[in-house]
Structure 1
């Protein structure tokens, strides 16, 4: 059973008639039970309609009782003898009347199907929030060949979803006010949270049970776009020009943060002057523009000795021309990057020496920041092997990694 209350019934009616999907209806009813969103949308929709239908039947019964009538009394009040026209109608039951009544009932009862595309979430919580999409995300993660113990699922949504959600909120706001409901827009469950509640378990299952948590070094980002409704935000540039400033580093001034800020500033009257409530039904769902995997940087530390007087610490390039064949940084970084399968690195050392200065004794401490490593753990034996690989004879220089933490 869905955790709904009597006060939610008028809101459910309005949202369903406006073209909202079942999960968005639960969001606007401030349902925070995660299990409710994990149900198949068709089952949720069926329960919502049954919940509203029972309420309507209850109101009908109350109306009849208020007039002093009961179903049994109404039946008893009918005359014992049926007129010829009624008998003729009853005789037709076996010859097609039953089929006509079934057609009439079907016309009255709404189909237990969700709208083609939800006017609020633009399909993000419909076909894009289920087992098929979980398989797609898992396949992308497997293809990248990362090693990880936990996973963080992040979601990037188009900014126009904020506009559409605000429009739906204004559509039911009047009902809430009439019912004296102390509900704020911030109380609504966000699309992003709903998507995670449904998809985290499904993605984890597809990846063999890897925990999907709220904090992890490994992140899988899913980015949605919806070009059809990009123009939904454009009126805000006129209604609240101060919230939108051009930035060369951004593809559009209509960022999610700017749109949210504008919606907080403008009044309901100004919003409704430029945008319909409820929003118009879209013809297509959001599309997954990108599924990106990223592992946060890890650090490797150690010490190095340099016995050469002709080897710089870092690449020596002047006016675009390389002065030395290699450097300490490059000789250390190459095998380390290969072992951790990292996309890049930043090299730092405790001080530096000139090209003709040797580094003796216990060596100079250094640290490497490995960017987006696909592997994050090496065994003690593998670390020893890496030290041996970095033991390099380079012309007349010898570099030895004194120690790596295991």
Structure 2
């Protein structure tokens, strides 16, 4: 525990916080020490069991943490603690003896550390060091006899280090509506090599505002299902949750502040065209993880504007409606075969109502099990969906297709409402 090294680390911490400050007043310290140091600590304990000083039972890593805590607290201006949403991870590296350490372990435990050869087909090099996990597996089998075979050598160069601040993620839940038939849910382009246009997706329109507001380094947009680029999301919207990673600013969403802060964020997002969000609130991780649980048990409602080459009578509509509720089987649609496993999926159509516009045009309102491919249910997808709406209307010799499709409801209470008398969640 060289004091000059501690000061060097402290100065680097101070520099990093000046460049990218966090509004936390505390931090947890985590040290990642070289494997070689851990090995030497084990070997010394085996060679000198007569050591019985006060610190013998205290692992070297704990002693290191104790040596750094006070100094780092001073340099960072933050209080070191055992409970904080901000973690400082310092990784020390000293690879000078990695290869000789590996050779020692391979000699002592040949079955655990097999001598690798370079694979000329995969171009993978033989290992030159061991991992902490590998060392942990043999720690209990290292005895004094094995330890005596190790040749201790002092390093000839200083240990290097890197550091990283990481904050617990913030989860923001809500619902979104999409009013454009040209806006994808996530960044997408037909040409993989074409440069993406910033902000040209629902996820970017929502996440970019949140990331800027809270200084997040990254985000993840999770939804209950998804609509195609040419499908609108109407009604009260589709449930979503955004995971904001490594936020530098969380004071506005601590305690009950998030209630007011997220109203303002909602207004900012809704000032953009093509989308609107509602019910924006902060939720704990365990609740955010429940959004996609039981996905296929949910129900969704759709409105499809359809065209039939052959004329359709009122009697045909009535006959099709009489078959509901109905279980259909859908093979993976042709249009998504590159992205989905080839499976037969059973889905249920719970309700179906028609509005005839003329002999060839009609609207159909459907309530279906989540995961139903609506477009394929209407036109049959070359017989891959059975029965299809075209079959139910007895126009399979002609052609029925969707001209426009809207999602009108995703039947999920999200974000979950507070029970009567239940106070809002406070976040630290």
TM beyond 0.5: yes
**Contact in 2 for aligned 1:150/1:211 (Cα 8 Å):** yes
Q: Match for residue 391 of structure 1?
A: 270
Q: Which secondary structure state, in structure 2, belongs to the residue aligned with residue 258 of structure 1?
A: helix
**Contact in 2 for aligned 1:312/1:327 (Cα 8 Å):** yes
Q: Which has the higher strand share?
A: 2
2:94 to 218, 226, 244: 226
1:255 CA drift (Å):
1.3
- Structure 1: tracts of 5 or more residues without a match: 1-124
**Within the alignment, does 1:349 sit opposite 2:223 as a pair?**
yes
Q: Match for residue 161 of structure 1?
A: 37
Q: Match for residue 148 of structure 1?
A: 24
Q: Match for residue 199 of structure 1?
A: 68
TM normalised by structure 1 equals 0.57
Between the aligned partners of 2:29 and 2:76, the Cα distance in structure 1 is 13
Query: Closer, same or farther in 2 for the Cα pair 1:309/1:341, shift >3 Å?
Result: same
Instruction: Map Cα deviations across residues 31-87 of structure 1 (whole Å, 9 max, x no partner).
Output: xxxxxxxxxxxxxxxxxxxxxxxxxxxxxxxxxxxxxxxxxxxxxxxxxxxxxxxxx
Q: Which secondary structure state, in structure 2, belongs to the residue aligned with residue 222 of structure 1?
A: strand
**Contact in 1 for aligned 2:99/2:128 (Cα 8 Å):** no
**Contact in 2 for aligned 1:302/1:365 (Cα 8 Å):** yes
Between the aligned partners of 1:294 and 1:198, the Cα distance in structure 2 is 21
1:227 CA drift (Å):
3.4
Describe how 1:162-311 pairs up with structure 2 within 5 A: 162-173=38-49, 175=50, 188-208=57-77, 210-233=78-101, 234-244=103-113, 253-273=129-149, 275-276=150-151, 279-285=152-158, 287-311=159-183
Q: Match for residue 403 of structure 1?
A: 279
Q: How many residues align?
A: 266
Between the aligned partners of 2:125 and 2:30, the Cα distance in structure 1 is 22
Query: Closer, same or farther in 2 for the Cα pair 1:331/1:258, shift >3 Å?
Result: same
Q: Which has the higher helix share?
A: 1
Instruction: Map Cα deviations across residues 87-115 of structure 1 (whole Å, 9 max, x no partner).
Output: xxxxxxxxxxxxxxxxxxxxxxxxxxxxx
**Within the alignment, does 1:369 sit opposite 2:238 as a pair?**
no
Between the aligned partners of 1:212 and 1:251, the Cα distance in structure 2 is 37
Instruction: Map Cα deviations across residues 132-152 of structure 1 (whole Å, 9 max, x no partner).
Output: 543433333333222224211
Which segment is superposed worse, 350-359 or 234-243?
350-359
Query: Closer, same or farther in 2 for the Cα pair 1:229/1:292, shift >3 Å?
Result: same
Give 1 or 2 for the bigger CA radius of gyration.
Answer: 1
Between the aligned partners of 2:177 and 2:165, the Cα distance in structure 1 is 36
Q: Match for residue 134 of structure 1?
A: 10
Between the aligned partners of 1:340 and 1:143, the Cα distance in structure 2 is 16
Question: In angstroms, what is the RMSD of aligned CA positions?
Answer: 3.3
**Contact in 2 for aligned 1:316/1:323 (Cα 8 Å):** no
Q: Which secondary structure state, in structure 2, belongs to the residue aligned with residue 216 of structure 1?
A: coil
Query: Closer, same or farther in 2 for the Cα pair 1:250/1:351, shift >3 Å?
Result: farther
**Within the alignment, does 1:313 sit opposite 2:189 as a pair?**
no
TM normalised by structure 2 equals 0.54
Describe how 1:103-118 pairs up with structure 2 within 5 A: none
Q: Match for residue 27 of structure 1?
A: none
Query: Closer, same or farther in 2 for the Cα pair 1:131/1:301, shift >3 Å?
Result: same
Instruction: Map Cα deviations across residues 161-218 of structure 1 (whole Å, 9 max, x no partner).
Output: 1232233223422x36xxxx7x9xx96311211111122222223333x221224321
1:359 to 233, 239, 242: 233
- Structure 2: tracts of 5 or more residues without a match: 119-123, 283-428
Query: Closer, same or farther in 2 for the Cα pair 1:128/1:201, shift >3 Å?
Result: same
1:154 CA drift (Å):
0.8
Between the aligned partners of 2:245 and 2:126, the Cα distance in structure 1 is 23
1:232 CA drift (Å):
4.3
Query: Closer, same or farther in 2 for the Cα pair 1:367/1:297, shift >3 Å?
Result: same
